[in-house]
């Protein structure tokens, strides 16, 4: 018997659910819409530690933040991405996830500011017992089915390798996961460490302020890409050989 056919548990209680989804990002909102569509009548809640919908697409705010995948495949099947831009900027994706939550009436199911800190299976009751930190203290919730949509990285701390001598650096140190709203980098000499998707996005955006006097160097293998496409041409301009270094 599927969960939809079972009588919902303790429907009058605010702490017991058929399904609890952890996370109100792209996955959690998608899971909730499908749950409502495919298992109507299921009593569910979404637990979200932050005060916003969107997860990654709300948290990351660095210049030029965008998807790497095309949104026609990253978006939902039930709400196809309609913009002509296949590679979308972060704010558009954030808006898309919020719009989905409102269009499918998911928002009222979200407990914002609730952080899951423990989940224990209780064999006697066949329930998950969840411990949550909430704005009014620690709470216990119960659920038959626990759906983890909490992403794959720490929301508290971005990956930060040790760099010896870092304490001697007198400039501003920024991690893209926590980009300050008011960071003024115009006219500054900027070094980007890393060669992943974030660096690929960030470097051209920082370098586009070059006319205003920015110098951007990427400490990575970006020059490898110099043979490929428009983006790599922009990156090549930004790397030390063409910018004259720092
Ligand atoms: C800059 C960047 C670009 C990316 N681009 C792409 C791309 O182009 N294509 C792609 O496929 N993937 C990409 N990713 C990966 C991206 O994370 C996923 O695409 C997608 O956003 C994941 O959605 P999610 O809902 O699974 O997780 P997340 O977006 O990480 O959302 C998880 C949610 O769970 C909440 N949460 C976490 N822990 C708890 C807890 N203990 N209690 C309560 N709530 C909790 C968080 O607050 C968050 O709201 C990118 C990631 C980054 C950082």
Do both 80 and 9 map to the same domain?
yes
Do both 54 and 86 map to the same domain?
yes
Give the HSE-up count for residue 50: Cα atoms under 13 Å, Cβ half-sphere.
15
We report the CATH number of the domain holding residue 12 as 3.50.50.60
Q: Span 194-209, mean pLDDT?
A: 86
Q: Give domain status of residue 238, yes or no.
A: no
Q: Which residues pair with 120 in a beta bridge?
A: 129
Q: With b meaning 16 or more CB within 10 Å and e meaning fewer, what string describes 170-206?
A: eeeeeebbeeeeeeebeebebebebbeebbbbbbbbb
Do both 57 and 142 map to the same domain?
yes
Give the domain extent around 190: 166-230
Q: Does residue 148 or residue 190 have the better pLDDT?
A: 148
Do both 7 and 106 map to the same domain?
yes
Q: Give domain status of residue 143, yes or no.
A: yes
Region of 126 (left: φ > 0; alpha: ψ -120 to 50; beta: rest) is left
Do both 199 and 87 map to the same domain?
no
Label residue 24 by pLDDT band (50, 70, 90). very high
**Considering its fold, how many domains does the chain have in total?**
2
* CA 16, 21, 24, 28 torsion-angle sign: negative
Distance 23 CA to ligand 1 centre (A): 9
DSSP-derived 3-state class of residue 215 = strand
- Rounded to whole angstroms, the Cα distance separating 228 from 242 reads 17
Q: Taking the mean position of all CA atoms in its chain, how far away is CA 28?
A: 11
Do both 23 and 98 map to the same domain?
yes
Q: Give domain status of residue 153, yes or no.
A: no
Pairing of strands 215-219, 127-134: unpaired
Predicted TM-score (pTM) of the model is 0.86
What average pLDDT does the chain have?
Answer: 86
Distance 79 CA to ligand 1 centre (A): 19
Ligand 1 site, residue 75, Cβ cutoff 6 A: no
Ligand 1, atom 48: closest residue by C-alpha:
55
Q: Give domain status of residue 25, yes or no.
A: yes
Ligand 1 site, residue 27, Cβ cutoff 6 A: yes
Ligand 1 site, residue 23, Cβ cutoff 6 A: yes
Do both 106 and 186 map to the same domain?
no
Q: Give domain status of residue 155, yes or no.
A: no
């Amino acid at each position: 018997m599927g969960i939809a056919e079972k009588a919902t548990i303790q429907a009058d209680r605010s702490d017991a659910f058929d399904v609890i989804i952890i996370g109100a990002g792209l996955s959690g909102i998608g899971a909730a819409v499908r749950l409502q569509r495919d298992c109507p009548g299921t009593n569910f809640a979404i637990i979200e530690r932050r005060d916003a919908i969107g997860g990654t697409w709300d948290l990351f705010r660095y210049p030029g933040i965008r998807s790497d995948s095309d949104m026609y495949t990253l978006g939902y099947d039930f709400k196809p991405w309609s913009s002509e831009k296949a590679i979308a900027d972060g704010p558009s994706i954030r808006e898309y996830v919020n719009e989905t939550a409102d269009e499918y009436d998911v928002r009222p199911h979200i407990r914002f500011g609730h952080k899951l800190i423990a989940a224990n299976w209780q064999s006697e009751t066949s329930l998950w017992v969840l411990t949550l930190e909430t704005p009014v203290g620690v709470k216990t919730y119960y659920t038959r089915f626990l759906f983890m949509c909490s992403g794959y990285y720490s929301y508290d701390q971005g990956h930060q390798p040790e760099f010896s001598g870092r304490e001697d650096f007198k400039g501003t140190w920024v991690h893209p996961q926590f980009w300050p709203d008011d960071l003024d980098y115009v006219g500054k000499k900027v070094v980007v460490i890393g060669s992943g998707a974030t660096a690929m996005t960030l470097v051209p955006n920082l370098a586009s302020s070059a006319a205003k006097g920015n110098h951007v160097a990427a400490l990575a293998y970006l020059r490898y890409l110099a043979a490929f496409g428009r983006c790599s041409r922009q990156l090549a301009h930004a790397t030390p050989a063409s910018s004259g270094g720092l």
